[in-house]
Amino acid sequence: MATTLHGVTQPSKEIAGPAVGAKNRFWELRIWSGMCIAGWYGLLWRNRFAIGPSRIGMALILCGVSVINSFLWALQSLLLGRKIRRTEIREAPVFVLGHWRSGTTLLHELLVADPRHTFPDTYACFAPNHFLLSAGMFKWWLRFLLPAKRPMDDMGVGWDHPQEDEWAMCNMGIPSPYLTFVFPNRPPQCSEYLDLRAVPPAALDRWKRAFVWFLRCLTVQNPKRIVLKSPQHTCRVRTLLEIFPESRFVHIVRDPYVVFPSTVKTFLRMSRYHGLQVPKWEDLPEQVFETFTHMYEVFEEDRTRIDPSRFCEVRYEDLVRDPVGQMRLVYERLGLGSFDSALPAVEAYAVRTKDFRTNRYELDPATRDEVTRRWGTFIERYGYAEKTDNGDEETRIADRK
């Protein structure tokens, strides 16, 4: 039986619940399980403790683990704080830019397959306040509390997988739009932190210091060039260049008629799995439309600040078709060194993921037309205009990574 929600048609089970293997068990670890007392209770207070009855068990567990996180943070600060502060980030990071569901995960994982690179893994982003101290003690047994699959798709979950550094910022008590997933039925959280432009100077300085502190911790763990991926960075280029003027950026784009329904589904499932409320999903399509438009308005304005020798662009469709060839071009354009050193790992990753199972949707004509109208500038700029002429038939699309 199929269900249509927000213009996306797919099986009822698919749109209503978590992905296969990601059942909503209250005792499983959530991404917020790494927050300290101040961050967690501050979030609850700002949202008036508006916890849904079915999420009380989850909330109580998170309240308890926040105490443990605070203790471990204090212990790591005592034992390793001086070393972290003195650690230098010798090479500016490489940033993967692109909207949600544009293939940023695929590109990130291909880049970090290179043994010369390092990255924030799931555990570091889950426990940014103490991962240097606690990883060896907890990773081996906490894996049993992880869901088998990501909430939004069929990809596996593991502590050592590359992860978005934005989650680390959340767990460090730094404001982020991702906090909307905790209380999805309240107004969007921390919208000004999407692009950081309207963040007051003192708060922006706090954001920068926390970001650099986290990267220093990663460098203590593994002193290599760091590759980072968070969609929000797409409209933070100006701030990132202020911190690391020699940063490199690789931007990935994808068919927006795929990106829209895939993003809607992702945000639905993230809210349902990680939230303290059962989401009503009100106004979600409008939020996706507006966020995408704002993100690319800011990005197109700020991309001129990037040295052309430190910027390149990739189409998702080309990357899936020829991952090795496209990655070779990325290395050449960004000056990342010999691609031959990365080639065996990139080829192995491409072989492992070539049969990845895709999700299927149908985008109804009215929603397709709205995507064309709202995102027309992007569609024209990045060469997706040919996707708009589909007559009266529904557009069948696939979602991968």
State yes or no: pLDDT of 142 exceeds 70. no
Model's pTM, two decimal places? 0.89
Q: What percent of the chain has pLDDT over 90?
A: 76
pLDDT at 23 over 90: no
Least confident of 102-106, 161-165, 360-364: 360-364
In the chain the domains, ranked by start, together with CATH numbers, are 2-399 (3.40.50.300)
Per-residue pLDDT for 370 more than 70?
Answer: yes
CA distances, 313 to each of 94, 107, 240, 248, 372 (Å): 13, 11, 18, 11, 22
What per-residue confidence (pLDDT) applies to 121? 96
Average pLDDT of span 147-157: 57
pLDDT digits (tens, 9 = 90+) for 249-264: 999 999 999 999 999 9
Give CA separation, 76 vs 45, 71, 130, 210, in Å: 27, 9, 6, 15
- pLDDT the model gives residue 281: 81
Question: Residue 20's pLDDT is what?
Answer: 37
Nearest to 131, CA basis, from 120, 145, 141: 120
For the cut 70, the answer to whether the pLDDT of residue 240 exceeds it is yes
Q: Which of 9-13, 44-48, 134-138 has the highest mean pLDDT?
A: 44-48
Q: What is the pLDDT of residue 358?
A: 58
pLDDT at 391: 36
Using one digit for the tens of pLDDT, what is the confidence trace for 303-353?
999 999 999 999 999 999 999 999 999 999 999 999 998 999 999 988 887
395 — pLDDT class (breaks 50, 70, 90): very low
